[in-house]
Amino acid sequence: GAVVSQHPSWVICKSGTSVKIECRSLDFQATTMFWYRQFPKQSLMLMATSNEGSKATYEQGVEKDKFLINHASLTLSTLTVTSAHPEDSSFYICSELAVSTDTQYFGPGTRLTVL
Amino acid sequence: SQKIEQNSEALNIQEGKTATLTCNYTNYSPAYLQWYRQDPGRGPVFLLLIRENEKEKRKERLKVTFDTTLKQSLFHITASQPADSATYLCALDITHASGGSYIPTFGRGTSLIVHP
């Protein structure tokens, strides 16, 4: 299957700062990548669909001005959490969709802690 | 609204036994259903996909059934091992709100603990 990396694997930041998370497809050109958020013992919640070369599509209730997504190339999508607050602390995971097999390949996730 | 249910209680079994996990759904007519494994602090890993016209699919010690009448999928791990301990998520395709590609929606997952 495809290999997806995320960086950083964890980050601790102060309230009010911005944090950028990178998601790279290492062996696959991903036209579409997804960003999820997962709280402890909860299911994965889709935040947005990131399309290469166009604006991301956000799910209902996700603030696009707070969670900035950029998909500048077929192998890189970034999620920037702007003006982070403690309630943004969560596990953020990206994935890419292998359309031919309807399968998602996930990155290892990024643990964000906002103090 | 659509709903995916997985048993929130952890499943504890002895090594060597068969683990059976359940995924029920309502208000869906999915084209396929998927099972993923997630270890603590890690992203999910794809295990199996079963389509609506398939009753059963196997992969090594894993077996998945899909009953579209009952709206249920069962996930079996035979000859379970302590290394199988993880959270198992089921996911169903759902049309994106914008009418775009089908994107899996995940259940909350069931934790499996295999005791040596």
B6 vs A51, more confident: B6
- Is B106 in the A-facing interface, judged by CB distances under 8 Å? yes
Residue B99 has pLDDT above 50, yes or no: no
SS3 string of chain B? CCEEEECCCCEEEECCCCEEEEEEEECCCCCEEEEEEECCCCCCEEEEEEECCCCEEEECCEEEEEECCCCEEEEEECCCCHHHCEEEEEEEEEECCCCCCEEEEECCCEEEEEEC
Q: What is the mean pLDDT of chain A?
A: 90
Summary mean pLDDT of chain B: 90
- Please give the residue that has the higher pLDDT: either B104 or A92: A92
CB-nearest partner of A46 from B89, B103, B108: B103
More confident residue, A60 or A101: A60
Q: For residue A104, what pLDDT is reported?
A: 85
- Distance from C-alpha of B50 to C-alpha of A50, rounded to nearest angstrom: 26
What pLDDT digit, counting tens, does each position of B17-66 carry? 999 999 999 877 888 899 999 999 999 999 999 998 999 999 999 999 99
Residues within 8 A of B (CB atoms), A 56-115 only = 57, 59-60, 91, 93, 95, 97, 99, 101-109, 111
Judge: B96–A44 Cβ closer than 8 Å, yes or no. Answer: no
Of residues B95 and B54, more confidence is placed in: B54
Question: Rounded distance, CA B89 to CA B66, Å?
Answer: 15
Closest chain A residue to B34 measured between Cα atoms? Answer: A103
Rounded to an integer, the average pLDDT of A40-52 is: 87
Closest residue in A to B39 (Cα) is: A108
Given a cut of 70, whether residue A1 has pLDDT beyond it is no
- Which pLDDT does position A100 carry in this prediction? 76
* Mean pLDDT within A53-59: 86
* Set of chain A residues whose Cβ sits within 8 Å of the Cβ of B32: 102
- The rounded percent of chain B whose pLDDT value lies above 70 is 91
Using the beta-carbon criterion (under 8 Å), do B42 and A107 form an inter-chain contact? no
Q: Chain B 6-25, CB below 8 Å of chain A: which residues?
A: none
**Above 90 in pLDDT, residue A69?**
yes
Residue pair B22/B29 in contact (Cβ under 8 Å)? The answer is no
In 3D space, the residue among B110, B64, B105, B106 whose CA is nearest the CA of residue B84 turns out to be B110
Say whether pLDDT at A96 is over 90: no
